[in-house]
Chains A and B, each alone.
Chain A
Amino acid sequence: MSEQLTGAQALLRSLELEGVEVAFGVPGGAVLPLYDPLLDSSIRHVLARHEQGAGHMASGYAHASGKVGVTIATSGPGATNLVTPLADAYADSIPVVAITGQVASSSIGYDAFQEAHTWGITAPCTKHNYLVTDVNDIPDVVREAFHLAATGRQGPVLVDIPKDVLAATMTWTGGGTVNLPGYKPRSEGHHKQISAAVKLLLESERPVFYAGGGLVRAEASQEALAFAKAANLPVVTTLMARGVIPDSYEKHLGMPGMHGTYAATMSLQKADLLVTIGARFDDRVTGKVSAFAPYAKVIHVDIDPAEIGKVRNAEVPIVGHARAVLSQLIAELAKQLDGEPAPKNQPWIDTVLGWRHDNPLVYDQRPDGPILQQYFIDELSRQMGDTAIVCAGVGQHQMWTSQFWRFERPNAWVNSGGLGTMGYAVPAAVGAQAAMPDTTVWAIDGDGCFQMTSQELITAAIEGFPVKIAIMNNGALGMVKQWQNLFYDGRLSGVDLSGGLPDFVMLAEAMGCVGMRVDNPADVPAIIEKAMSVTDKPVVIEVVCDPEEMVFPMVPAGGSNDDVVLNKDGLK
């Protein structure tokens, strides 16, 4: 049935057809024609206080739900404020669709008010982007944008629409279609490669399953665990993959890399085979690439062919969707084993489990000392079990959360891994809460990170998202301070925040949240319980922490993973 719609109405109709329930945005001049019919749409609009917040909310929504997050901004500064969240989502392959208004077609190129070259600025930080010049293209562009965001290697897609195109009328004839002749993401892996991979696996004596965030995006959690069990594989999960294989899996060694566990990092160094799925040999995992996993052959499974061979050569490259390829690998393993049990590789398993046993993640919480961040996170995780979603900003608190939270399921860990965007936690938590209204959402934040996006507290309060935020307040940009202490002779430059911190409790209250403060280790369990008892408002807990605590283990930047340092004394 055909009817006359404005471009904005067609856009909203198209978004509704994609199943969009909520969009995070900030209006402005160029999107006025969109915000009017938005009032009549089934899509809920969440008014962020800054477009960066809106973008991270969309990302947090996508992280927690696996669905595409949607954000809306106006032209010019609205769009440029989205650059950081887009780059963030691009680095972590998070499916986000951004709708931006543009100045009227006739003004483009004339340096009009609030004009920016949005598609040019965002082309390098999106999977793809569009400038819509014809109102009739809107349904197809929206369909393609969601298709691109959610399939293949997921990622952000931006749709820039001039104001006159939003206001123009078109004949609606039904939803859009995808016409992308050059876009053909592969699903199944090549059967010869699957066979070669399993052969190599069965020949190996020291294999490790190096599991990456692609497994989360591919919803391959069950298959990943089944494969690990079937092949008796010890597992390491990267920062982006925490939870995709439960930490409680008996051969889980933790996170590898710069701040990973000794067992995880060392297992890669001594392995003779890496089964790498949905991971990209990021520098935070590999350390010095030439010294990384020197004895290992590599099976590399990725949906993005460009990741294979980019950093590390793969003996068996497999391009495909992680879930499909894992199913193939499981079937092929059974076929090649032909009823025999999988190799136990007992000496190797004993070795890596011995490393894990002998080098646990530790902290020393003294009853009369300041609260250690690790202790707070450990206690919070203990109380939450696997019920909560946990978000983090970037820095020490992020690493400690990854280390000390007990991750048991995918989509419960929301953080900025690739881009390392400080300020991610608060808005991401709002987005995660919007996706999962019945789940407790915690944000573990730093005092530095928190101050970058804390204006979104009021968004959480007004829009009814009762997130819980724990600020690990050490009065400094802690990770930078740690590096200055370790590698710049303790010459602290530009990292001290303690002289000018806001009163976080008053700030929280001023933003419509409940503010709390804890500075005694003995009070930590009770303050968490108190925060959990508040269900109708966001809660902010200022956790007054030890300003000198550092994150260990640590592989110094540019160093070999063989040189992992377990504590402060190891650096001397």
Chain B
Amino acid sequence: MNHLISVLVENKPGVLARVATMFARRGFNIHSLTVGPTAEEGMSRMTVVADTPEVEQITKQLYKLVHTVKVTEFEPGQAVVRELMLVKINADPKRRSEVLNAASVFDASAVDIGSSSLTFQVTGTPEMLADFLEMMRPYGVSALVKSGRIALAKNSKTKAAAGP
């Protein structure tokens, strides 16, 4: 099962490698991982989607890393979750408008156009991205890249996972 974990870490050199190494060492499978700066100086936030039945051990092992400041596990519905996808759809000139129409339903914007393909930028929930892909599949998806999920707690309803 996928767990969505938000990790506040000190922005020190190698902190991503430490987290990644720990996941590998403990046999936790990473589905996606994003990292970037936060509103707080010197802090980064990692959003990890881990495929494991053992989320408590992940939380505890993350806390063991010296640069980890706070670990939050989001239950479904507790966070706003978004993902960005760039996807190249096969679309020769004859089908271009058909593809563009379909994409507009998802607020997907065409960001590049070629002689036989269109590249869309799609932002939304993971479910929405999946729906978009499902709809485009008949035209042919020739390439795609995803940012990985990012998440922010809704209001203040989340509790931090038990700290050290």
Question: Hey, which bits of chain A sit against chain B, CB under 8 A?
Answer: 119-120, 123-124, 127-128, 131, 133, 148, 180-186, 304-306, 309-310, 319
B47 at the interface (CB under 8 A from A): no
Contact B56 A182 (CB under 8 A): no
Across the interface, which residues of A come within 8 angstroms of B18, CB to CB?
123
Contact of A306 among B10, B61, B67 (CB under 8 A): B61
* Cα distance A305–B14 in the bound complex, in angstroms: 24
Q: Which 7 residue pairs are nearest across A and B when measured between Cβ atoms?
A: A306-B60, A182-B69, A128-B66, A182-B68, A305-B60, A124-B25, A183-B66
Contact A148 B66 (CB under 8 A): yes
Q: Quick one: closest A residue to B14, CB to CB?
A: A119
Contact B163 A184 (CB under 8 A): yes
B13 at the interface (CB under 8 A from A): yes
Contact A186 B21 (CB under 8 A): no
Contact B66 A182 (CB under 8 A): yes
C-beta contact mask, B112-135 vs A, less than 8 Å → 1, else 0?
000000000000000000000000
Contact B21 A184 (CB under 8 A): no
A87 → chain B closest CB, angstroms = 12
Number of A-B residue pairs at CB separation under 8 A: 48
Contact A131 B66 (CB under 8 A): no
Q: Quick one: closest B residue to A185, CB to CB?
A: B164
Contact B21 A306 (CB under 8 A): no
A332 → chain B closest CB, angstroms = 22
Query: How many residues of chain B get a CB closer than 8 Å to chain A's CBs?
Result: 24
Contact of A181 among B13, B57, B69, B164 (CB under 8 A): B69
A12 → chain B closest CB, angstroms = 24
* Cα distance A182–B68 in the bound complex, in angstroms: 5
* Cα distance A339–B79 in the bound complex, in angstroms: 53
Across the interface, which residues of A come within 8 angstroms of B63, CB to CB?
182, 305-306
| Contacts A/B (CB < 8 Å), 26 sampled | A119-B14, A123-B14, A123-B17, A128-B66, A131-B13, A133-B13, A181-B69, A182-B9, A182-B10, A182-B63, A182-B65, A182-B66, A182-B67, A183-B66, A184-B163, A185-B164, A186-B164, A304-B64, A305-B60, A305-B162, A305-B164, A306-B60, A306-B61, A306-B64, A309-B56, A309-B57
* Cα distance A150–B37 in the bound complex, in angstroms: 32
Across the interface, which residues of B come within 8 angstroms of A319, CB to CB?
164
Contact A184 B10 (CB under 8 A): no
